Structure 1
Amino acid sequence: MTDDAEGPDGDGHELGGQDDEVRGACRIPGPRAAADDFDRGHVTPPPAPRPQSAPPPPEQADGRPGQPGPPGLPSPPALVLPHRVLKALLGAWALAACSAEETEAVEAHLTECAPCADEALRLRDAVGLLHTDGSLDLDPLLRSRVLETCLSRRPAKIPVPGWAAPYDAETARLDALLRDIGASEWHAPVRLKWFEGEHAVNRKTTVAGVIGHLMTVDGLISTALGLDDPLADSVPGVPRRGPGPALAPTARTETYWSAARRPPTRAVREPWRGQSHTLIRTVSVAGRGVSDLSVSYGEFALPLQDALLDRAFECWVHGGDIAEAVDYPYEAPSAAHLNRMIDLAARMLPAALAGRRRAGLAGPARQLVTAGSPGRSLHLEVEGLGGGDWYIALDSPAAVGSPDHAVAQVALDGTEFCQLVAGHVPPVEAAAGQRGDREAIQDVLFAAASLSRL
């Protein structure tokens, strides 16, 4: 008989799936685990085989072990399948999706057929690759690196100002998250948290409601630049451009939510993203002078460069709220951008502390601030990502903190400090290293939480 003669199974093999040259080869893979036994790279070993002298008892109709059958009852015959069927079952075998009879037939065949044994090894290794511990999400800094490489080869004719880069990056990261979620997840409940007075408060909305909130508050910058106010589309009487009602961020959001005829949907993403692109394009074209333009927040005002940094911070915080609601991985900003966000909060702390003092929520100033004495300071040491050292003036919002007059020190992780400023961590629970004047430390921690808002 020639080598290419076909056996009874019609596939170039003898009955039972073996060639003369490979008959008797023992190439079966080692003990195999089910596909869902993989856990962080560990494979649960299969159970030890039963002794041949003690066959397993039969099962009852409900799947429970039954009583052994009468002695001398013959075992059911082994399943006999042609080679082409056994070969087709290799994928299911690797995934542990075969029946017990099919598994026994396949594994018996693998001890006799070398080509199928090799294929089984490859398939088993492929199944292992399906259970990886690594994240399949893109590196959040990938976009920045790609843009940096592109711009290093061909600089932009109108570059984005450095002070607007955090807002540009955070809106792009949040947009990437929104593009990746399903239509139903836009209605997932999101609980927004912030701090008022001495207590933490919260408000329930949806993913779409959060994006509407961001768009509405970003409208403060739009109106300062002479652009369209998104609030005009939903609230009668609000001019599309020019000075409108002096509403603080919380009041603008509540007005937007209450004026909507129906809850926001995924349709809000396009106008929000278009608005962020317009803001970046406008400040890039306007040049340097626009960075000091005053943006009113109702009770206070910020220069445009700080206002955009504030909006970048809120975009990151609410991006994290959305990611938590839809179970999506979301990283902190880059170290350089996070450092600038922390710096803005540190610069706003003296004014926040003075406001709490006027409301009777903080201890009185203890030293008179003069030209020769800036008063007491607190050393804020931020560790980890975006970290650094800041000295917070305790006795006057106009004073400049000095290391020579520090009466207390607080140490916090960078992201934890930002969560405190966002109102997501109560001041009494902030895991801070503390040393020095306890009253001053408590006043500063509560002042940091008071910077949060809806």
Structure 2
Amino acid sequence: MKGTEAHDSYGEKPDPEDHNAPVGPQRDTPPPENGPGGPSGPEPPEPSSSRTPDEPPHIPMPRTSVEDTGLPLPEPAPAPLFLEHRVLKSLLGAWALAACSPEETTAVEDHLGTCGACADEALRLRDAVGLLHPPESLDLDPTLRTRVLESCLDRRPPRIPVPEWATPYDAETARLDALLQDIGDAEWHAPVRLRWFEGDEQTSRRTTVAGVIAHLLTVDGLVALTLGLDDPLEAQADAPTPEARTEAFWTTSHFPPTRSVRTPWREQAHNLVRTVAFAAGGTSRASGAERGGGSGRLPVSYGAFELPLRDSMLDRAFETWVHAGDIAEAVDYPYEPPSPRHLHAMIDLGARMLPTALAARRQAGLATPGQTRHLVPAGTPGRSLRLEIEGLGGGEWLIPLDSPGALPSPDHEVAHIALDGVEFCQLAAGHVSPDEAAAGQLGDREAIRDVLFAAASLSRM
């Protein structure tokens, strides 16, 4: 029978009166027809799924294995590297130099967290590695501005070019302005000592960084007056000399001057360059003779002497560089010499001024006795000294010794001096004594001494 087969399949039905029968549905007990309570039991709650009663129960599919996806298997985590203490200690130097493998680095750093002695040694080694790297200057190359401008002008010449004899002044004022941009307010009051020669003795005057800029402002004003620009000196000076004008400015202004003096100085420098560029005339297509021929010969008075405008602009470039070096030394700022081309032009100006300086020394009775017995008329050959400048801006010049108008002649060469270019400029600025100048000397010792002292006499405040 069907019912009998069911009872044989699932076992005998338990007696409801048997208290020893197990409670609840058993594995061998068929499910009740109307739910867990039987025909009289409560209705079970509706399932949350939308499956219909006739739909078979959802059986989840087995999880897809990584091997079945075709993707690469993940790399197993590397096992930590276990090293002995002596090995880890020997790796400290390589670790400080960042030369360890990643596994060795991890092992060493884990060890440093537990070993104080190795941690101290690692710290000392890491500090020592820092000393192996040479210090790099954060300051820009002083010639960067000049090189950038030259590169730009090579590609597109300016409509109104600056004359060649004014470019050194343009470059040196720009370099000094960059130095002033970098210093702080307090450094404007740093003490600076101006040095120059009077007669055969060195003299000096103490001022500040702001006082040096005021000095440059008032002396550049002599060129401004020649070009018809405003005079920066509002007070009346005792004499139209650089020293008298500077003293007048220092006396009438707030002394010591403050950094506010930078603005009028840089504006005047810009106006000087702009004015000589327009005064030189012509465009970029003009020839060298057409550019700056007439304006370059305008006389600029310094009180006791005059210089043509082209030489005066070189003189102002030279003094700007020298005093920028004084400021840089006072505030501990690195400062380089001018470019070789500009330095050569400054040396050439000093060499051309030496015959006049020698004549002034003879008139003042400062020349050696032997140098007063060999005077020759202007336009005739006379004794000459060969001035050889080595290094940056170098070259050779024949200096007439007997009179400013004498013709230098290699056939009448009586002495030879060899100097470094920067040292010659320091001598002409009064920063190096003639007796201390490291000059190679050959020939007439008296002539050599007179020329060295004449070069120092070119200096002034």
TM-score (norm 1): 0.72
Larger-Rg structure: 2
2:242 to 240, 249, 258: 249
Corresponding residue number in structure 1 for 2:79:
21
Cα distance, 1:378 vs. partner?
A: 0.8
Corresponding residue number in structure 1 for 2:221:
219
Corresponding residue number in structure 1 for 2:35:
none
Q: 2:448 is aligned with what amino acid?
A: I
d(CA) in 2 for partners of 1:106 and 1:267? Answer: 57
Corresponding residue number in structure 2 for 1:4:
none
1:138 is paired with a residue whose SS is: coil
> Any gaps of 5 or more consecutive residues in structure 1?
1-18, 35-42, 44-86, 94-100, 111-116, 239-244
Cα distance, 1:398 vs. partner?
A: 1.5
Cα distance, 1:370 vs. partner?
A: 4.0
d(CA) in 1 for partners of 2:336 and 2:196? Answer: 21
Cα distance, 1:155 vs. partner?
A: 1.7
Matches within 5 A, 1:150-299: 150-232=152-234, 235=235, 246-287=239-280, 288=292, 289-299=294-304
1:401 is paired with a residue whose SS is: strand
Cα distance, 1:132 vs. partner?
A: 3.0
1:285-332, CA deviations, whole angstroms, 9 ceiling, x for partnerless residues?
111221111100001100001000000000000011001111111001
- The answer to whether the 8 Å contact 1:420/1:426 transfers is yes
- Please state if 1:412 is matched with 2:412: no
d(CA) in 2 for partners of 1:275 and 1:104? Answer: 67
d(CA) in 2 for partners of 1:372 and 1:173? Answer: 41
Matches within 5 A, 1:295-334: 295-334=300-339
Note closer, same or farther for the CA distance 1:104–1:292 as it changes in structure 2 (3 Å cut): farther
1:427 is paired with a residue whose SS is: coil
> Any gaps of 5 or more consecutive residues in structure 2?
1-76, 98-105, 281-291
TM-score (norm 2): 0.71
Note closer, same or farther for the CA distance 1:246–1:128 as it changes in structure 2 (3 Å cut): same
- The answer to whether the 8 Å contact 1:420/1:427 transfers is yes
Note closer, same or farther for the CA distance 1:151–1:250 as it changes in structure 2 (3 Å cut): same
- The answer to whether the 8 Å contact 2:239/2:303 transfers is yes
Corresponding residue number in structure 2 for 1:143:
145
Cα distance, 1:438 vs. partner?
A: 0.8
Report the identity percentage: 65
- Please state if 1:377 is matched with 2:384: yes
d(CA) in 1 for partners of 2:240 and 2:301? Answer: 9
d(CA) in 2 for partners of 1:430 and 1:390? Answer: 18
Note the aligned Cα RMSD (angstroms). Answer: 3.2
Note closer, same or farther for the CA distance 1:371–1:174 as it changes in structure 2 (3 Å cut): closer
Corresponding residue number in structure 1 for 2:92:
30
- The answer to whether the 8 Å contact 2:434/2:456 transfers is yes
Matches within 5 A, 1:45-84: none
Cα distance, 1:333 vs. partner?
A: 0.5
Corresponding residue number in structure 1 for 2:343:
338
d(CA) in 2 for partners of 1:182 and 1:103? Answer: 47
1:450 to 422, 437, 457: 457
1:403 is paired with a residue whose SS is: strand
d(CA) in 2 for partners of 1:372 and 1:315? Answer: 35
Matches within 5 A, 1:116-127: none
Corresponding residue number in structure 1 for 2:69:
none
- The answer to whether the 8 Å contact 2:377/2:405 transfers is no
- The answer to whether the 8 Å contact 1:365/1:394 transfers is no
1:6-26, CA deviations, whole angstroms, 9 ceiling, x for partnerless residues?
xxxxxxxxxxxxx86224267
Note closer, same or farther for the CA distance 1:410–1:353 as it changes in structure 2 (3 Å cut): same
Larger mean Cα displacement after TM superposition, 317-326 or 396-405: 396-405
- The answer to whether the 8 Å contact 1:378/1:391 transfers is yes
Cα distance, 1:154 vs. partner?
A: 1.9
Corresponding residue number in structure 2 for 1:348:
353
Q: Number of aligned pairs?
A: 357
Cα distance, 1:182 vs. partner?
A: 1.1
d(CA) in 2 for partners of 1:21 and 1:106? Answer: 26
Larger mean Cα displacement after TM superposition, 429-438 or 358-367: 358-367
d(CA) in 1 for partners of 2:229 and 2:209? Answer: 26
- The answer to whether the 8 Å contact 2:388/2:397 transfers is yes
1:382 is paired with a residue whose SS is: strand
Note closer, same or farther for the CA distance 1:294–1:373 as it changes in structure 2 (3 Å cut): closer
d(CA) in 2 for partners of 1:126 and 1:437? Answer: 57
1:267 is paired with a residue whose SS is: helix
Corresponding residue number in structure 2 for 1:15:
none
d(CA) in 1 for partners of 2:356 and 2:379? Answer: 21
Cα distance, 1:142 vs. partner?
A: 1.0
d(CA) in 1 for partners of 2:118 and 2:379? Answer: 89
1:380 is paired with a residue whose SS is: strand
Q: 1:30 is aligned with what amino acid?
A: L
Cα distance, 1:372 vs. partner?
A: 7.4
Q: 2:225 is aligned with what amino acid?
A: T
1:184-205, CA deviations, whole angstroms, 9 ceiling, x for partnerless residues?
1110000111011111111100
Cα distance, 1:151 vs. partner?
A: 1.5
Cα distance, 1:137 vs. partner?
A: 1.6
d(CA) in 2 for partners of 1:139 and 1:270? Answer: 24
Note closer, same or farther for the CA distance 1:30–1:231 as it changes in structure 2 (3 Å cut): same
Q: 2:397 is aligned with what amino acid?
A: W
Q: 2:317 is aligned with what amino acid?
A: A
Cα distance, 1:374 vs. partner?
A: 2.0
Corresponding residue number in structure 1 for 2:53:
none
Corresponding residue number in structure 1 for 2:405:
398
Cα distance, 1:128 vs. partner?
A: 3.2
- Please state if 1:132 is matched with 2:190: no
Q: 1:351 is aligned with what amino acid?
A: T
Note closer, same or farther for the CA distance 1:102–1:424 as it changes in structure 2 (3 Å cut): farther
d(CA) in 2 for partners of 1:33 and 1:322? Answer: 45
